[in-house]
Amino acid sequence: MPKILIVEDDTRVAELLKRGLDEEGFDTQLAYDGEMGKKLSLYNTYDLVITDIILPKISGIDLCLSIRKSNPGLPIIMLTALGTTDDKVDGFDAGADDYLVKPFDFRELLVRIRALLKRSSSVANYTDKFTYQDLELNYNTKTIRRAGKEISLTPKEFKLLEYMMQNAERVLSRTEIAEKVWNTHFDTGTNFIDVYINYLRKKIDKDFDNKLIHTKSGMGFILKLESDT
């Protein structure tokens, strides 16, 4: 029975989530502020955390950062009334795996939960390192090097680059990236994927003559050693 920590200061929402998830067979525990959520996440074992962003005492962002330090692989879903691209970037940069804007359909939350639990329980046994050209990704230390130079990435940037390296020299659509990296679908009007691609470009390609990350107009993005098109 998967154990889920729910961190939500709105008692009505928290109780509704607990009741709904308990009925679906999950073992849930509630925390009504970020500080309690942090303590519970440190002293107990959970399979997944659901947290609001705006919380008393410690924000959901700070809670996520704290969890990531002690338990890097624990799936985290953020719930919030904030829905701009910048808000999502902040959440994912803190280490969240998924993001739902209130109000949301409970059935959608269930889909996200089950997908994350399935992914976390079936993580492939990777080799220590994965390379493409002069780019090296280390799974154990979660570090990136290009031509021997270490490059600092946020958790989501790392996950995006990892997927692109695993699918090097293949065009990846925005829809595929959203599904495989974020485990979700984004509105067609969002520029969210483009924002993260630009982040990667600045870190991976900016200081190097040979560019690796390219945009294919009308199709998506590709990791390949070629001139930009």
Residue range 192-222, pLDDT digits in tens:
889 999 999 999 998 888 899 999 988 899 9
CA distance 39 to 70: 12
User: Domain check: are 182 and 104 in the same one?
Assistant: no
Are 8 and 79 contacting, i.e. CB atoms less than 8 angstroms apart? yes
pLDDT recorded at residue 94: 80
pLDDT recorded at residue 35: 94
Task: Show which of 103, 121, 139 is a domain's final residue.
Answer: 121
Residue 203 forms part of a structural domain: yes
Q: What is the DSSP letter of 6?
A: E
In the predicted model, is pLDDT for residue 188 greater than 60?
no
Residue 216 vs residue 179, higher pLDDT: 216
Residue 155 forms part of a structural domain: yes
Q: What are the counts of helices (DSSP H) followed by strands (DSSP E) for the chain?
A: 8, 11
pLDDT recorded at residue 125: 41
Which CATH number belongs to the domain containing residue 210 in this structure? Answer: 1.10.10.10
Cis link prior to 103 (omega < 30° from 0)?
A: yes
Residue 97 vs residue 187, higher pLDDT: 97
Q: What is the DSSP letter of 53?
A: S
Are 146 and 204 contacting, i.e. CB atoms less than 8 angstroms apart? yes
User: Domain check: are 150 and 199 in the same one?
Assistant: yes
User: Domain check: are 86 and 136 in the same one?
Assistant: no
Residue 167 forms part of a structural domain: yes
Residue 228 forms part of a structural domain: no
Residue 214 forms part of a structural domain: yes
The number of domains in the chain is 2
pLDDT recorded at residue 199: 93
User: Domain check: are 186 and 99 in the same one?
Assistant: no
CA distance 9 to 3: 19
User: Domain check: are 111 and 140 in the same one?
Assistant: no
Residue 94 forms part of a structural domain: yes
pLDDT digits (tens, 9 = 90+) for 121-138: 644 344 467 788 899 988
Which CATH number belongs to the domain containing residue 61 in this structure? Answer: 3.40.50.2300
Are 52 and 80 contacting, i.e. CB atoms less than 8 angstroms apart? yes
Range scoring the smallest mean pLDDT among 88-92, 161-165, 178-182: 88-92
User: Domain check: are 74 and 138 in the same one?
Assistant: no
User: Domain check: are 20 and 104 in the same one?
Assistant: yes
User: Domain check: are 135 and 213 in the same one?
Assistant: yes
User: Domain check: are 133 and 114 in the same one?
Assistant: no
pLDDT recorded at residue 190: 60
Cα separation values, 223 from 40, 134, 175, 206, Å:
41, 12, 16, 15
Task: Show which of 121, 142, 162 is a domain's final residue.
Answer: 121
Burial class (CB in 10 A: 0-12, 13-18, 19+), 143: middle
CA distance 152 to 222: 21
In the predicted model, is pLDDT for residue 141 greater than 60?
yes
CA distance 52 to 30: 12
The range of the structural domain enclosing residue 12 comes to 3-121
Task: Show which of 81, 101, 121 is a domain's final residue.
Answer: 121
pLDDT recorded at residue 123: 45
User: Domain check: are 108 and 14 in the same one?
Assistant: yes
Residue 134 forms part of a structural domain: yes
User: Domain check: are 153 and 193 in the same one?
Assistant: yes
3-state secondary structure of 185: coil
Range scoring the smallest mean pLDDT among 4-18, 85-99, 160-174, 178-192: 178-192
pLDDT band at 187 (very low <50, low <70, confident <90, very high): low
User: Domain check: are 72 and 152 in the same one?
Assistant: no
**Strand partners for 222:** 214
